[in-house]
Amino acid sequence: MNDIINLVKKAQKGNDKAFLKLFQQYEQDIYRVAFVYVKNKEDALDIVQEVAYRSFKRIDTLENPEHVKSWLLTITIRCAIDCLTKRKKVVQLKPDYEESVQENDRDLSLSLSLQDLLDKLTPDEKSIILLKYYEDYSFKDISKLLHIPLGTAKSTLYRALSKLRKHVSEADMYEQ
């Protein structure tokens, strides 16, 4: 941990090599979180690059060097949500064709996966699930990271879990 703190302090003083070494420590975590949101390799890699750029430009604003991973994951979540928002604004020229191809290729019994379940959640719910279960953050840390009250973090998580349970039970009925 002391190595990370030293790297952060060097990076904050303008040491490019220290920043690169620091970023590489968390690059896989950043990619994994980005991929869960955008569901494709190219967009996830774009998000990793955007996180590198934003964090490099703003490393001097990081107040607590020991929270660098949380800080980077917060930037990652924001970049992923930005990417999804931009994607929604893209107009498909032939959306009917694309939907019919996807529906024919999917087997209903195999369509339920963790990714499918996460897609049923709002971005806020997905963020809290990822931070709680993928990154093992406490409710207190989640509330600080996302700048929301502690009670909101808890209620959002429990609402998301309830949604997930409902979707799993509905899928079980279809398989029987």
Residue pair 7/18 in contact by the 8 Å Cβ criterion: yes
Phi, psi of 40 (to 5 degrees): -150, 150
Q: Which residue has the tokens 């699930």?
A: 129
Rounded Cα distance between 14 and 130, Å, is 32
CA distances from 174 to 76, 102, 108, 120 (A): 36, 19, 8, 17
pLDDT of residue 55: 94
Rounded Cα distance between 24 and 4, Å, is 11
Q: What is the mean pLDDT of each run of 10 residues along the chain (176 residues)?
A: 88 92 94 90 94 93 90 92 78 48 43 69 87 85 88 92 84 58
- Dihedral, 51, 156, 161, 104 alpha carbons, nearest 10: -60
pLDDT of residue 28: 94
pLDDT of residue 175: 54
Q: Nearest CA to 71 among 36, 133, 25?
A: 25
Residue pair 68/21 in contact by the 8 Å Cβ criterion: no
pLDDT of residue 113: 67
pTM for the model stands at: 0.67
pLDDT of residue 173: 56
Rounded Cα distance between 73 and 78, Å, is 9
Domains defined along the chain, listed by start: 1-89 (1.10.1740.10), 112-176 (1.10.10.10)
DSSP type of residue 94: S
Which amino acid, residue 79? Answer: C
